[in-house]
Amino acid sequence: MKLKTLFVLAGMFTGLVCKAQNKSSIPEINEERKRLESNGMLVLGSWALGNMVWGGIGASRTTGARKGFHQMNMYWNTVNLAIAGLGYFNAKKHQTEGSLWKSLQAQQKTEKILLFNAALDAGYMAGGLYLMERGKRRQNDQLVGFGNAVILQGAFLLVFDGILYSLQVKNKAKFKPWIDKVNISTSGISYKVEF
């Protein structure tokens, strides 16, 4: 019981010392991760809405490959809008983790998802090239337009995920002062406190 009380007091003191040294607290780092996620979903949702309006207007006023381009932008961004809405509400409702290790796990999970998405984005662009080339070979204007739209959407998502990833990596760097103080060895775990 005394040991547990000592750990609680040491944790409280450490939090005060780290805050006094102008370091971000773990809850602040977690809140920043959530803020980046929710703002990213707002950007994605805005992109989706804009493309849906532009696609609807464009599809009603054009023919051939351009019509296919606008139609695919509309279809594609219906899915983007759903993802953005779910992602936004998911980021807002999740409780932020309080412990260092759970916070690091959540941060790494976010970064892995963004990297996986970036790989998918490159695949979307390759799929768009395939559709475009297939449309040209078969003289199918709709496929050409679909391919161009998928290339555009994949390129946007690649840039979008790349920017979000770099912002999340910058946020993860705020954990460094916390991690540098932890020493794990065969004799146990220690935490260095500076005065």
Assigned token pair, 142: 């709709």
Q: Which letter does DSSP use for residue 62 in this model?
A: -
Q: How far apart are CA 127 and CA 150, in angstroms?
A: 7
> Sorting pLDDT into bands at 50, 70 and 90, what band is 178?
confident
In a domain, 187, yes or no: no
Instruction: Please enumerate in sequence order all residues whose Cβ is within 8 A of that of 167, keeping only pairs 6 or more positions apart, or say none.
Output: 36
pLDDT digits (tens, 9 = 90+) for 7-55: 444 454 444 444 444 578 999 999 999 999 999 999 999 999 999 999 9
In a domain, 13, yes or no: no
What distances in angstroms separate CA 18 from CA 9, 12, 14, 140, 182, one per listed residue? 14, 10, 6, 63, 13
Range of the domain at 154: 25-174
In terms of pLDDT, which residue wins out, 166 or 97? 166
In a domain, 4, yes or no: no
Q: Alpha-carbon torsion 101, 105, 111, 115, what sign?
A: positive
Q: How far apart are CA 125 and CA 140, in angstroms?
A: 19
> Sorting pLDDT into bands at 50, 70 and 90, what band is 117?
very high
What distances in angstroms separate CA 147 from CA 70, 120, 140, one per listed residue? 11, 16, 11
Residue 51 has a pLDDT of 98
Residue 13 has a pLDDT of 47
In a domain, 184, yes or no: no
In a domain, 16, yes or no: no
Mean per-residue pLDDT, 137-148: 98
Widest pairwise Cα distance in the chain: 80
Percentage of residues in the chain having pLDDT higher than 70: 81
In a domain, 190, yes or no: no
Residue 17 has a pLDDT of 43
Task: List, in sequence order, the alpha helices (H) in the chain.
Answer: 2-20, 26-61, 64-93, 100-137, 141-172, 176-180
Residue 187 has a pLDDT of 72
Q: How far apart are CA 150 and CA 123, in angstroms?
A: 10
Mean per-residue pLDDT, 113-126: 98
Residue 45 has a pLDDT of 98
Q: How far apart are CA 147 and CA 133, in angstroms?
A: 8
In terms of pLDDT, which residue wins out, 176 or 43? 43
In a domain, 38, yes or no: yes
User: Are 166 and 16 in contact, with CB atoms under 8 Å apart?
Assistant: no
SS3 state of residue 94: coil
Name the helix (H) or strand (E) containing 190. Answer: strand 188-191
Is the pLDDT assigned to residue 135 strictly greater than 50?
A: yes
In a domain, 77, yes or no: yes
Q: How many domains does the chain have?
A: 1
> Sorting pLDDT into bands at 50, 70 and 90, what band is 190?
low
Q: How far apart are CA 59 and CA 145, in angstroms?
A: 11
